[in-house]
Structure 1
């Protein structure tokens, strides 16, 4: 009944001296990763109704890279400072708050994206799915489905339908 897309931002540059972590831009490889995610989503007809994106520079640039591939406007994402500063429980609160939508794309950060993916599809104490054994890579996309509306999303209630690891091995 509900579909949740959890995307970790693409590869970002290391912070330069005097630059805040929040302001780190994508690298050229990161820009290519974000476009690859957009192409993947378009090829599978993954079209979220709502996009909630961290307001950190690297997350915004990730959205900008994939928006065009999805035929979306760059300014339609809801920017959220909370996605930069909260934990997986905070991410889940955002999903539930926006849960009247049938599908939501969250563009955020690790470890929150990975923690939320594992909690939703495996429960609180379960082992991560094999696809996440090596961690949640930059520009990694988890596609989760729920039998309930997203407003009722809960640990263990999702099925991991798809996973994209766009980072080269």
Structure 2
């Protein structure tokens, strides 16, 4: 059994129209969301043997901010392939993990992370949280899956069960979508 957690970067700043997508930092709401999710992860007591992440600025800032709240930091393996990757690329990357750690935290982007959940978690009713992901996998969302595999190289579609899903709005309603007047 392996554990895979996915953490989508927090809300990014779009105020500089000239900035490259890769270089966009977090906005204030994103900083608050990353902080809240870091506190949540700390409250679960969950630990990870390895963290792999996209090197995009908004991902790096999400990790930095949430780690402060989490009260834990450890080396990040930066992998540019995660940046805007498809589910297929993410699955290949996971299959390549050396050393067969028991638990991995991947921090990255949509639609890849969301699609990875759809590919790994069967749509058979065994993971009711999957229906929440169908609605939306917003920024700063954190998901944990248990994988019925012994080695990362054995990763295949339908091998997971979604056991936790936490969105920023679940922790603080002000971090949810902006409501119309």
Q: Please, what TM-score do these two structures have when normalized by structure 2?
A: 0.84
Q: Name 1:154's counterpart in structure 2.
A: 156
Task: Please give the residue correspondences for 1:1-169 in structure 2 after superposition, counting only pairs within 5 Å.
Answer: 1-14=1-14, 16-73=16-73, 76-98=75-97, 100-122=100-122, 129-151=130-152, 152-167=154-169, 168-169=176-177
Tell me by how many angstroms 1:48 deviates.
1.1
Which ranges in structure 2 are unaligned for 5 or more consecutive residues? Answer: 124-128, 170-175
- For residues 39-77 of structure 1, the C-alpha deviation after alignment (integer angstroms, 9 at most, x for no partner) is 111111121111111100000011111112333336x11
- For residues 115-150 of structure 1, the C-alpha deviation after alignment (integer angstroms, 9 at most, x for no partner) is 001110126xxxx92111322110111100012135
Conserved in 2, the CA contact under 8 Å of 1:95 and 1:150?
Answer: no
**Looking at CA atoms only, which structure, 1 or 2, has the larger radius of gyration?**
2
Question: Residues of 2 paired with 1:60 and 1:32: CA distance?
Answer: 15
Change (3 A) 1:72 1:60: same
Which ranges in structure 1 are unaligned for 5 or more consecutive residues? Answer: none
Counterpart of 2:145 in 1: which secondary structure?
strand
Number of corresponding residues: 164
Q: Please, what TM-score do these two structures have when normalized by structure 1?
A: 0.90
Conserved in 2, the CA contact under 8 Å of 1:15 and 1:21?
Answer: no
Tell me by how many angstroms 1:32 deviates.
1.1
Conserved in 1, the CA contact under 8 Å of 2:84 and 2:112?
Answer: no
Question: Residues of 1 paired with 2:85 and 2:29: CA distance?
Answer: 27
Counterpart of 2:163 in 1: which secondary structure?
strand
